Chains A and B, each alone.
Chain A
Amino acid sequence: DAGVIQSPRHEVTEMGQEVTLRCKPISGHDYLFWYRQTMMRGLELLIYFNNNVPIDDSGMPEDRFSAKMPNASFSTLKIQPSEPRDSAVYFCASRSGYSNQPQHFGDGTRLSIL
């Protein structure tokens, strides 16, 4: 079975540009999570969705960040405008059912803002 699919795997762009990260969760999973991983702060939860509805976005660092889930098989995380401090690895994860079930992670998008 296909796992969580993220694209692109790597993104290098200049400060001020819009960045869009994409995620396809595992089919049938009703929860989707976006994380950011940096050396300084470790793994941080940015936002999560349940049945395509955003439930908790308290981890989104600023208004420059936005996330959508237009349907059960696709989500985007957008940064506009991007800044060098946004450089990190961004992970998408999905889960089925209750919180005692594990999250399944994609391979991440390594984002570099110059």
Chain B
Amino acid sequence: AQSVTQPDIHITVSEGASLELRCNYSYGATPYLFWYVQSPGQGLQLLLKYFSGDTLVQGIKGFEAEFKRSQSSFNLRKPSVHWSDAAEYFCAVGAGNNDMRFGAGTRLTVKP
């Protein structure tokens, strides 16, 4: 079965600084990869997804992620963080068996 690891539990960045959230997956074939964001008291909102094609995918709110097969990674990036980006971010990996696995999440704090 597939699995996903988010090595960073909590990250703090200054507003305007760049951001990279790490995600590593384990799966024998090409996985389906997703990033979600969760604001307090809300459900998970899809930021972006990858399942084939261009390995650099663009999402909503200015986020992007790059699939690197050689590193089994799907890191999320944003060039300039806004205070409203403070939230919890989840990486997820899916496969043809309908089993989607979520990482433990990375909590992002944005300093003014």
Complex CA–CA separation, A33 to B32 (angstroms): 17
Partner of A45 from the list B90, B100, B104 (CB cut-off 8 Å) is B100
* Beta-carbon nearest neighbor of A92 in chain B: B43
Interface size on A, residues (CB 8 A): 23
Q: A43-B90, A43-B102, A107-B41 are in contact. Are A99 and B46 (CB under 8 A)?
A: no
Most chain-A CB neighbours within 10 Å: which of B34, B42, B100?
Answer: B100
Q: Is the CB of B98 within 8 A of A102?
A: no
Encode A66-96 as 1/0 by CB contact (under 8 A) with B: 0000000000000000000000000101000
Residues of chain A with a CB closer than 8 A to B94's CB: 99-100
Q: What's the Cα separation between A103 and B98 when bound, in Å?
A: 11
Which of chain A's residues has its CB closest to B94's CB? Answer: A99
Taking a contact as CB atoms under 8 Å apart, the answer to whether B44 and A31 are in contact is no
Q: Is the CB of B44 within 8 A of A55?
A: no
Chain A min CB distance to B60 (Å): 12
Whether the pair A42, B105 counts as a contact (CB closer than 8 A) is yes
Please report the C-alpha to C-alpha distance between residue A6 and residue B34 in the assembled complex, in whole angstroms.
23
Residues of A within 8 A of B95 (CB): 99
In the complex the two chains form, is B100's CB within 8 Å of A106's CB?
no
Q: Contact: B105 with A99, CB < 8 Å? A: no
A99 touches B43 (CB 8 A): no
Residues of A whose CB lies within 8 Å of any CB of B are 4, 31, 33, 42-43, 45, 48, 50, 55-56, 91, 93, 98-100, 102-108, 110
- Top 9 A-B pairs, shortest CB-CB distance: A105-B43, A100-B51, A105-B44, A100-B32, A43-B102, A102-B46, A107-B43, A99-B94, A42-B104
Beyond A42-B105, A98-B96, A106-B43, 16 extra complex contacts between A and B, CB < 8 Å: A33-B100, A42-B102, A42-B103, A42-B104, A45-B100, A55-B98, A56-B98, A56-B99, A91-B44, A99-B32, A99-B96, A100-B32, A100-B49, A100-B94, A105-B45, A107-B43
